Copies of this chain bind each other. A is one copy, B any other.
Amino acid sequence: MQQKKEITIYDIAEKLKLSATTVSRGLKDHPAISKKTKKRINDTAAEMGYRFNTFASNLRSKRTNTIGVIIPKMNSSFMSAVLAGMEKVANEASYNLIISQSLESAEKEAVNVKTMFNNRVDGLMVSVAYDTVGVSQFELLIEKGIPLLFFDRTLDHPQCTSIVIDNHKSGYLATQHLIEQGCKNIIHITGNLARNVYADRQRGYESALRDSGIEVKPENTFITVLDEQAGIDAAQKILKMKSLPDGVFVDNDNCAVNCMANLMNEGIKIPEDIAFIGFNNDPISRVIRPALSTINYPGFEMGEIAAHKLITHLNGKQSINSTNSIILRSELIARDSSRKIK
């Protein structure tokens, strides 16, 4: 395992009878170095098998070209789309991404923030865990002037930009759509209402009901973790209700689909007995039968925009504080699971 000696700019300098300074600049395409010298330097570097030492560079220049990302879980269709978008933009701008998962634990999230901090990421993008409370774990970044950006599940902080969709409007549209289809007794299956995404959708749901003169019943809102099991549990709960609902709005397609499948197994007809609408426009929503109505959530685009925003700021082109939040367009996609009216 004895590594061959690494070639440094000093080795190149010596061979070319130049200074390390000139070699460093030549490799960086610095304007003060002549074309001829640059070519000599680059050729020799290639020939000698030189490789740039990021650490020496980072150490001196105090920049890492690395962006941290902390998300609850990698393996969801939505989140991997976001990551893919971020990676694409970051890669094109020569930034590296360090990604870690909080696994929905605020505690693990705090540890990850610390790690990112020690790794001196130039900036951090976060979608917070299910049970995160307060912003204190992020203060040390802000004090050091490290830009912090929230996306999807955000926290409110005057110095941070948030990238979100209009969750209130989305919740409103989804509910209104069910009402238009004739639903009068609508369940909302949602998550922790301390999280902006769920709270906003719940408010949208309530507004839509009120605007149509339908009573808002607290027992019609199910707080769950929105995973597959939660969908199954919700189905059981619905089956036990004295009067069956005629519409269900679920904040996650995957959860919705599992709930729906369970109800169908018990002989419930979708959408005739119960109309369904999900959230995210997950691929699963398109292939299930009946196809699941949903709210389109542009994950890939959100990732691109978040990364782009952060990088623009890092490159000094624009302050991250100039905008406090960016709201992406999301829209209703009506499919068979909610079409009671033909």
Classify chain A's interface size: 35 or more
Instruction: List residues of chain B with CB within 8 A of the CB of A54.
Output: 118-120
* A77 proximal to B (CB < 8 A): yes
Instruction: List residues of chain B with CB within 8 A of the CB of A52.
Output: 118
CB distance from A68 to the nearest CB of B (A): 9
**Contact pattern, A 58-76, Cβ under 8 Å of B = 1, otherwise 0:** 1100001000000001111
| Chain B residue with Cβ nearest A94 | B115
**Contact pattern, A 82-118, Cβ under 8 Å of B = 1, otherwise 0:** 0110011001000011111101000000001001011
The complex is assembled from copies of this chain, and their number is 2
* A322 proximal to B (CB < 8 A): no
* A301 proximal to B (CB < 8 A): no
Our pick among B58, B81, B99, B254 for the contact of A55 (Cβ within 8 Å) is B58
C-alpha spacing A1/B287, complex, angstroms: 50
**Besides A75-B300, A96-B98, A287-B288, 10 other CB < 8 A contacts?**
A1-B145, A3-B144, A54-B119, A75-B77, A75-B80, A75-B84, A80-B80, A87-B101, A258-B287, A261-B289
Our pick among B87, B117, B288 for the contact of A99 (Cβ within 8 Å) is B87
* A4 proximal to B (CB < 8 A): yes
CB distance from A29 to the nearest CB of B (A): 16
Is A287's CB under 8 angstroms from B257's CB? yes
With A56-B59, A59-B56 as given contacts, are A115 and B96 in contact (CB-CB < 8 Å)? yes
C-alpha spacing A118/B117, complex, angstroms: 22
Residues of A within 8 A of B (CB): 1, 3-4, 51-56, 58-59, 64, 73-77, 79-81, 83-84, 87-88, 91, 96-101, 103, 112, 115, 117-120, 143-145, 228, 254, 257-258, 261, 264, 283-284, 287-289, 300
With A51-B118, A101-B88 as given contacts, are A283 and B96 in contact (CB-CB < 8 Å)? no
Instruction: List residues of chain B with CB within 8 A of the CB of A143.
Output: 4
Instruction: List residues of chain B with CB within 8 A of the CB of A83.
Output: 74-75, 80, 99
Is B254's CB under 8 angstroms from A283's CB? yes
Instruction: List residues of chain B with CB within 8 A of the CB of A87.
Output: 74, 99-101
Instruction: List residues of chain B with CB within 8 A of the CB of A261.
Output: 287, 289
C-alpha spacing A54/B143, complex, angstroms: 19
Q: List 22 A-B contacts (CB under 8 A).
A: A3-B144, A3-B145, A55-B55, A55-B56, A55-B120, A74-B84, A74-B87, A75-B81, A77-B77, A77-B80, A83-B99, A84-B101, A87-B99, A88-B101, A88-B103, A97-B99, A99-B99, A254-B283, A258-B287, A284-B284, A284-B287, A288-B289
C-alpha spacing A76/B100, complex, angstroms: 18
Is B228's CB under 8 angstroms from A283's CB? yes
| Chain B residue with Cβ nearest A49 | B140
C-alpha spacing A117/B99, complex, angstroms: 18
Instruction: List residues of chain B with CB within 8 A of the CB of A287.
Output: 257-258, 261, 284, 288
C-alpha spacing A283/B118, complex, angstroms: 37
CB distance from A189 to the nearest CB of B (A): 16
Is A120's CB under 8 angstroms from B53's CB? yes
Is B119's CB under 8 angstroms from A96's CB? yes
C-alpha spacing A288/B96, complex, angstroms: 37
